[in-house]
Amino acid sequence: MNNVFTDFEPFAEPGRWAGFRGWLRGKRTGRVNELLIKASIPKYPNQEPAVYMNPHPERHHWIGDGRLCYLRRGHVWNPAEDTFAQAVIIAAKYVDEFDGRG
């Protein structure tokens, strides 16, 4: 994360959550989206981090607790190889696709 997403800051709520906060700007609208990538400390790395964004560029890809619902086309989370940075990449692709279309 420090090498690729230098504007993202780590955070932790000891014993509960850890992750990164940052911003993604939509290319079409220029709107800034606050991004939070967070994982349950007891469940990470076995469970993939969740992606939260404010505002939502559109209304259809969000789960009830406010996180982004996405498919990893042909790939399943692999705790031995996958990282928080990949969740940021998924969020960036989502913003690129849906910014200004909601």
Give me the phi and psi of 94, to 5 degrees please. Answer: -60, -50
Could you tell me if residue 24 is inside a domain? yes
Burial class (CB in 10 A: 0-12, 13-18, 19+), 8: buried
Contacts of 15-24 with CB under 8 Å at 24 or more apart are: 15/41, 15/42, 16/40, 16/41, 17/41, 18/44, 19/49, 19/84, 20/84, 20/88, 22/88, 24/53, 24/91, 24/92, 24/95
pLDDT band at 102 (very low <50, low <70, confident <90, very high): low
Could you tell me if residue 16 is inside a domain? yes
Q: What is the pLDDT of residues 18-35, one digit of tens each?
A: 999 999 999 999 999 999
pLDDT band at 74 (very low <50, low <70, confident <90, very high): confident
Which CATH number do you get for residue 22?
3.10.110
33: helix, strand or coil: strand
pLDDT (average), residues 70-85:
85
Q: What is the pLDDT of residues 37-72, one digit of tens each?
A: 999 999 999 999 999 999 988 988 999 899 999 877
Q: Number of folded domains in the chain? A: 1
Global confidence as pTM: 0.89
Could you tell me if residue 3 is inside a domain? no
Domain residues for the domain of 93 are 9-98
